[in-house]
Chains A and B, each alone.
Chain A
């Protein structure tokens, strides 16, 4: 274990070195698994290298930067730091690498961020985000959870058997309130008695993790897990997909969450399949589903491994015991598709890059805040892709995706949250997405 964060199970760069050294610089991390590529236009899986071009801006490139830093060949300069952070941490490279090998690229990139953060401190933009977290309990300049709750009439505030974690992105964005309201209404209509924590809702640590501030993340995650474990809740439901990925893949490194957790789409999917929620009204639209990275490939559960690498048959590297590897396939892919297929009149279209091979919207990893040019370029690319399918609507469920893809609609297809679409079907309420909310 790296000595930087002895109290948690984060792997430091040194811990991951044996995996980083497996990089052969094959560049497969830049593409979806090649057997899945359908056209040149959709043959990239990496918004970062699409935008900045240099190999340093690929998954493999960052692995090599990590090795360079580890071996003392280079210091982390401003240019290095940009190359490290100009990445949405979408995990596409990780999936592609693990089709043929098993390098934990995302873990290495996060460890490199932690090394960078420890060595150089935050950038100005990052500093503002962290200050906001300190000051406001969320990463934004303004907004309060009270304001948010005022827009969600009827929601129970305080402890309850099912706690809905709203997260910050939905809660602090007035533009997303309709969606949030629809989400809560849908849960209610499904007979799920959710409560929210209001001003007490903890920061789950998503941005601190993305920025490499692991101490802060550990504090946040630890506090949040403790609060939820002590709350008496029997289930936690997560609204924000980015937080969902954090909870699933990274909280276990800090502490165990007692109550089981699910994402909202999983809860609603169960409800529809059980007949507790009826999607009655037709929504006649050709809709493409955008798999958020955080709901999909990045939400695979953390799997601890404490073993060693052995060589057998001379030079064959094996793990003792076998090392579990997340390859992106067991993310949450089917529930949202089942939900949309259940909407009468809705024709579901698959984007060429889908499920574990989805192309990132560009918002994650702290990029929307620090490198808007990357966020915009990625969203434009995804919109272009959607536009080629004949889709009339691009549906997703992640506040970052909704915001970022919606922000460049002019280039492609109107964007909607899945909750708005479902609400339209349940209550024949179309205005929530036809105006491109």
Chain B
């Protein structure tokens, strides 16, 4: 029981420490750079160094605290509950709900198949299931935190809203096309067991414990990508010319949006690795629309997930899925390149 007590008091005790460090990050990094190391102000190397030792702890601090709370919140949004909420919904409302729930319901691409089967089995329409499957990987907490940390809330809001719109519309269109015939027939023959109505009862302490586990698992997995991404960013920050990416990914290059999607889909990276890279691209002249499109195609459409989904979907349906989502991403790219 002693351990359980600690799980509650430890985070409460750590919270002020967290705030103190977060609030004082700028003077601390300046002190380390200018006083402790006595580096010469304004040189490329000094500024690259300053950028790294400021951005890396900042992003890690944000990740730790938000993943902890998201981990706790997520224990209330189990896939079973999400499925129950989506049962028997009319299509459009169902698509909106599915996409929104996709953000908060825990999801890993290795669970995509059982989840898909579970949804279909419960009578959730195919298009609504797709809205969930599109939103869940594309809009996740790691992407949101990193975007917020490196770009601020505006870009984050744009990403979430456009990502949701794509997931809702793409799922809705797939629903309209009535593509059930391209789902592997065994999916409709399979029958879920009787266990599915049971739900694990979790105590408050256990939920906090799961928050810890989420931090350990996710931060433990992504910190290296974050470090590498920001390291590349720091390097480019000082050394690569400002207009380096203009020709390839700038506004005036009309082909930049489809091109970045073509590059983005086979590239498989998690949000942690790609957001710092995207921030470099933007700093070096890539336009926001192109950068967003690139990022969405890297996290939202991944080759390994397609391979996994092939077990339950015929190739035609996977093609439609990729096609519709890509089209949505292209629209988002052009919208932000030309309309705004």
Chains A and B form a bound pair: no
What is the interface of chain B, defined by CB distance below 8 A to chain A? none
What is the interface of chain A, defined by CB distance below 8 A to chain B? none
